[in-house]
Structure 1
Amino acid sequence: MEDSKLTVRAVERALDIMLCFTGATDLSLTEIAARVGLHKSTVHRLLASLEGKGFVLRNPVSERYRLGYRIWELSANLSQSDDPAVVLLPEMEWLRDQLDETVSLYVRDGVERIRIQAVQSNQAVRRVAPVGVRLPLYVGASGKVLVAFAGPEVGEQVMAGAGWTAALQREAYAAQLEAVRELGYATSMEEREAGAAAVSAPIFDRDQQLVAALAVSGPSNRLTMEKMKEDAALIMQAAERMGKMFRG
């Protein structure tokens, strides 16, 4: 039993190391150890095992690590027929061309949202949306969509989460979610980032299960509240078309 626990702990630690690369291209041993909270000797042993299996690569000159080719081998076997990031990309590009603003796709993971796909605006001043970023659910248009159209327990989890602050009133937040459900879309104006605005609509599959949140974002001086309300109908129509691409 004890050996089994040690094995599971080693696997968890190795996975924690892999997850360090969701926000960085390459990392040093010291940086990885700091991120996972382990001694450098332990991290070094785990990295050696991961390197041996091809999951990480070590630059012998800089002594920095990056993801290995085995990751791409695994990702090649993902079922693209049900992957929103792949299936919805053409529609996202179409929407970007119509509105000339950055278009993003978010999914919920616990009390966070993850940007799984993005199509950048062609404008010189634009909202840059890197893929793979994790963001809180309690702020932002897409966050409100992912909470409003999920089960009521999700809202409770968000309000009980560590990121919730006293400045956020539960009653006001609940009222916002109700308004999102009634309108069918959500907006945000400089809620998470100064100078940025966004409007988002839910994507449901054919069984009316929430798949993702479709969001259009840009500078708040261009993407005004009036402009977002004007664009909302087009965004909701695009989201409805996207939902029909999923079997449910």
Structure 2
Amino acid sequence: MSTKQSAGAAPILVLHKVARILDCFSVEEPEPSLQQLIQKTGLPASTCQRLAQNMVREGFLDRDGDRYRIGIGLVRWATPGTVGLDFVRLVRPILQELRDDTGETACFYIRDGAFRTVVAVAETRHVVMRPFMVGQVMPIHAGAPGKIFLAYDPEAWDALQGAPLTKFAPATPDSLNTLQAQAAAAHDQGYYAAFGERHEDVGSISAPVFDHAGRLAGVLGLGFPTQRVGPDRVPGLGTAVAQAAAEASNALGHVP
């Protein structure tokens, strides 16, 4: 084998090992430990640890203690228009505090066309839960976060024109008139709650986050199973979500 061929082979082997590490992440196991990465990849412990450290450094992964998750770098490259790493770092502690205060999963979303993408998550510690993952993509017409985008981002309506309003559940809005009324309600109260729009057993409450220029930067909210949270808890949780969103806006330099 020539020297030129050998030089080209090494990067390919490294990429193959990186791919094996990334294959360890799934909806069922979004935050494997280093030992789990070693076991699943079959790589030598020192090799796996070194690669994982480099992947954290480059934004492929994030690390929290001994747990790893898909990094915002990969989300940024895969999802046009998403926000940067520093932005998510500012919002993540607020999500964690909201999760701790309410007990439910807290998420931050950005919009890409007629879809919304989760870019940061603080997951509930309850055993009964619905999984939300960084990189998860959902349509904006179903669920509370979409109503906030439609209430505060005119371009969201442009993206929705011609997009299919898929009926996921009986409560899914399937007309622009219904969405306009929901968006108006979201704007009036500063947050919005939805139940059973994307999945019959899932609810959500969301509020807007603004940047230093007063533009909608994203949507912050809670997701939960409806068997644990019903409409009677909306006033309390809605206030908590709106306060957390205001705190996130303040962290981004927004002055009301």
Aligned AA for 1:57? H
Aligned to 2:189: 183
Alignment pair present for 1:173 and 2:174 = no
Of 123, 126, 130, which residue of structure 2 is paired with 1:127? 130
Counterparts of 1:181 and 1:192 in 2: how far apart (Å)? 21
Alignment pair present for 1:155 and 2:187 = no
Shift of residue 219 of structure 1?
A: 1.0
Shift of residue 73 of structure 1?
A: 4.8
Shift of residue 206 of structure 1?
A: 3.1
Counterparts of 2:217 and 2:243 in 1: how far apart (Å)? 15
Counterparts of 2:120 and 2:146 in 1: how far apart (Å)? 15
Q: 1:52 to 1:157 in 2, by over 3 A?
A: same
Shift of residue 57 of structure 1?
A: 1.6
Counterparts of 2:136 and 2:189 in 1: how far apart (Å)? 27
Task: Give the TM-score normalised by the residue count of structure 2.
Answer: 0.66
Counterparts of 1:157 and 1:55 in 2: how far apart (Å)? 40
Alignment of 1:4-15 (within 5 A): none
Of 73, 90, 93, which residue of structure 2 is paired with 1:90? 93
Counterparts of 2:9 and 2:239 in 1: how far apart (Å)? 48
Q: 1:190 to 1:51 in 2, by over 3 A?
A: farther
SS at match of 1:172: helix
Alignment of 1:187-206 (within 5 A): 187-206=193-212
Equivalent residues, number? 194
Of 239, 250, 253, which residue of structure 2 is paired with 1:233? 239
**Which of structure 1's runs of 4+ aligned residues deviate more than 4 A?**
63-73
Aligned AA for 1:179? A
Structure 2: state its 5+ residue gaps.
Answer: 1-7, 24-50, 61-71, 74-82, 168-172
Aligned AA for 1:202? P
Counterparts of 1:172 and 1:51 in 2: how far apart (Å)? 56
Query: CA RMSD for the aligned pairs?
Result: 3.2
Aligned to 1:137: 140
Alignment pair present for 1:113 and 2:119 = no
Aligned AA for 2:123? Q
Q: 1:217 to 1:81 in 2, by over 3 A?
A: closer
The answer to which of 167-176 and 64-73 deviates more is 64-73
Of 39, 49, 59, which residue of structure 2 is paired with 1:75? 59
Aligned to 1:57: 16
Q: 1:150 to 1:53 in 2, by over 3 A?
A: farther
Alignment pair present for 1:244 and 2:245 = no
8 Å CA contact 1:51–1:58 kept in 2: the answer is no
Aligned AA for 2:156? V
Shift of residue 128 of structure 1?
A: 2.0
Aligned AA for 1:125? V
Counterparts of 1:51 and 1:110 in 2: how far apart (Å)? 39
Shift of residue 157 of structure 1?
A: 2.0
8 Å CA contact 1:57–1:66 kept in 2: the answer is no
SS at match of 1:160: coil
The answer to which of 220-229 and 188-197 deviates more is 220-229
Counterparts of 1:86 and 1:110 in 2: how far apart (Å)? 24
Counterparts of 1:50 and 1:160 in 2: how far apart (Å)? 47
Aligned to 1:99: 102
Shift of residue 51 of structure 1?
A: 8.4
SS at match of 2:165: coil
Aligned to 1:164: 165
Counterparts of 1:198 and 1:50 in 2: how far apart (Å)? 48
Q: 1:171 to 1:244 in 2, by over 3 A?
A: same
Task: Give the TM-score normalised by the residue count of structure 1.
Answer: 0.68
